[in-house]
């Protein structure tokens, strides 16, 4: 047993949503974490790609196509309700940092792909962008390169009302480096924060360089994917609390860690435990996201990199031979 006598939050809402997908349409009542695990095996994106229709919601509205900054490009099926559920935690977190009326500029463009539905085609990019902007996030039009003249012109329109840049750590730093090298650092004056997607070496390499390039920016770390916001740097760690690490939020997703000894919820993890992250989001149940994590203790985690032999070996060597 994992300490759960009943189905823990937010699994009841997630399971109810999965019933609109073919994979769960015939399942009986699911009352506990153990039953949830029995009904839903761990899946990878390869399995989803082999039978994508099994994971389509009944009210499929669009696919979001990722651009593959941290892994292979993916196409994620969304219903309108899924978009709202995924966007809400991001919006809640953004509002803790942004002033009223201000927005964050995302350096990642999620391009919706058209798909035929009984009601017609999917919403346009403009409709999707407006929906996400309501959470405080302005995303770029599809295929907008972040270092060309058109993006620079777009930035001049958006940044005056933006307080933050959001995106993969390497891409945010590359963008800042490009702006500074062009002598256009004044363009960045309205910004107060830089949100970097959690990844390997973010604390040692990317965050320090972002601070060096634009000293007035406060650099914060979060962990997300097209499937949703997973974890973020705790508010108290910026304001005198524990240093480093990411804290999982569970308002819309459920998280497990797969170790050499099995799989259990992240809330049951021991300090120093490592493993591969399994996420249950409004989009997919028990999805192996492909990242290798370390539990720092007290609910704080570090993303060590993409789960694979090189990442694991590198961590174990550093752990065995520190310095």
Distance, in Å, from the CA atom of 54 to the CA atom of 52, rounded to the nearest integer, reads 5
Map tokens 């060590």 to a residue. 304
176 assigned to some structural domain: yes
**For residue 92, what pLDDT is reported?**
77
**For residue 147, what pLDDT is reported?**
53
**For residue 271, what pLDDT is reported?**
93
- Report the domain count for the chain: 1
Q: Residues 159, 162, 164, 166: is their CA dihedral positive or negative?
A: negative
104 assigned to some structural domain: yes
> Do residues 33 and 7 lie in contact, with contact meaning Cβ atoms separated by under 8 Å?
yes
Question: pLDDT tens digits, residue range 255-265?
Answer: 999 998 999 99
Q: Does the pLDDT at position 314 exceed 70?
A: yes
Closest CA to 250 of 5, 10, 7, 4: 10
Question: pLDDT tens digits, residue range 42-96?
Answer: 999 888 888 888 888 877 777 776 666 556 677 788 777 777 777 777 777 777 8
> Do residues 302 and 275 lie in contact, with contact meaning Cβ atoms separated by under 8 Å?
no
Phi-psi region of 227 (alpha: psi -120 to 50; beta: other; left: phi over 0): alpha
**For residue 3, what pLDDT is reported?**
45
Q: Is the model more confident about 291 or about 112?
A: 291
- Domain with residue 202: its CATH number is 3.40.50.12780
1 assigned to some structural domain: no
Distance, in Å, from the CA atom of 129 to the CA atom of 148, rounded to the nearest integer, reads 21
> Do residues 173 and 197 lie in contact, with contact meaning Cβ atoms separated by under 8 Å?
no
Q: Which helix (H) or strand (E) element contains residue 315? A: helix 309-320
Question: pLDDT tens digits, residue range 137-193?
Answer: 766 555 555 555 555 555 566 667 788 888 878 878 888 888 888 887 887 888 888
For residue 47 the two structure tokens come to 């399995």
2 assigned to some structural domain: no
For residue 239 the two structure tokens come to 């304001």
**For residue 202, what pLDDT is reported?**
73
> Do residues 87 and 135 lie in contact, with contact meaning Cβ atoms separated by under 8 Å?
yes
End-to-end alpha carbon distance in the chain: 39
Distance, in Å, from the CA atom of 132 to the CA atom of 85, rounded to the nearest integer, reads 11
> Do residues 128 and 82 lie in contact, with contact meaning Cβ atoms separated by under 8 Å?
no
> Do residues 105 and 99 lie in contact, with contact meaning Cβ atoms separated by under 8 Å?
no
**Half-sphere exposure in the Cβ direction for 305 (13 Å, CA):** 10
Q: Which helix (H) or strand (E) element contains residue 229? A: strand 228-232
**For residue 2, what pLDDT is reported?**
44
Q: Is the model more confident about 215 or about 204?
A: 215
154 assigned to some structural domain: yes
Distance, in Å, from the CA atom of 302 to the CA atom of 239, rounded to the nearest integer, reads 19
> Do residues 173 and 221 lie in contact, with contact meaning Cβ atoms separated by under 8 Å?
no
Query: What's the average model confidence in pLDDT over 246-253?
Result: 77
Q: Which domain holds residue 50?
A: 11-320
137 assigned to some structural domain: yes
**For residue 150, what pLDDT is reported?**
52
**For residue 280, what pLDDT is reported?**
94
Distance, in Å, from the CA atom of 86 to the CA atom of 312, rounded to the nearest integer, reads 30
Map tokens 């050499």 to a residue. 260
């Amino acid at each position: 047993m994992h300490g759960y006598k009943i189905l823990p939050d937010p699994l009841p809402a997630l399971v109810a949503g999965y019933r609109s997908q073919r994979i769960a349409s015939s399942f009986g009542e699911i009352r506990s974490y153990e039953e949830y695990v029995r009904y839903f095996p761990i899946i990878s994106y390869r399995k989803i790609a082999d039978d994508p229709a099994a994971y389509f919601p009944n009210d499929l509205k669009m696919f979001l196509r990722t651009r593959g900054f941290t892994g292979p490009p993916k196409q994620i099926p969304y219903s309108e309700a899924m978009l709202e559920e995924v966007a809400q935690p991001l919006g809640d977190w953004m509002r803790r940092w942004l002033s009223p009326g201000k927005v964050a500029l995302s350096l990642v463009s999620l391009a919706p792909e058209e798909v035929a539905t009984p009601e017609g085609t999917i919403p346009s990019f403009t409709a999707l962008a407006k929906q996400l902007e309501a959470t405080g996030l302005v995303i770029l039009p599809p295929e907008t390169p972040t270092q060309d003249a058109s993006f620079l012109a777009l930035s001049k329109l958006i940044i005056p009302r933006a307080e933050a840049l959001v995106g993969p750590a390497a891409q945010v730093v590359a963008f800042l480096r490009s702006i500074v090298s062009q002598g256009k650092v004044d363009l960045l004056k309205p910004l107060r924060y830089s949100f970097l997607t959690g990844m390997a070496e973010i604390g040692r390499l990317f965050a320090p360089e972002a601070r060096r390039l634009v000293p007035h920016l406060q650099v914060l770390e979060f962990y997300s994917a097209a499937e949703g916001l997973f974890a973020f740097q705790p508010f108290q760690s910026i304001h005198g609390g524990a240093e480093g690490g990411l804290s999982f939020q569970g308002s819309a997703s459920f998280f497990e860690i797969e170790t050499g000894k099995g799989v259990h919820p992240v809330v049951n993890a021991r300090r120093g435990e490592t493993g591969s992250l399994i996420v249950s989001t409004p989009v997919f149940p028990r999805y192996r996201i492909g990242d290798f994590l370390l539990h720092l203790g007290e609910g704080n985690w570090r993303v060590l990199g993409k789960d694979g032999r090189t990442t694991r070996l590198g961590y174990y060597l550093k752990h065995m031979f520190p310095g």
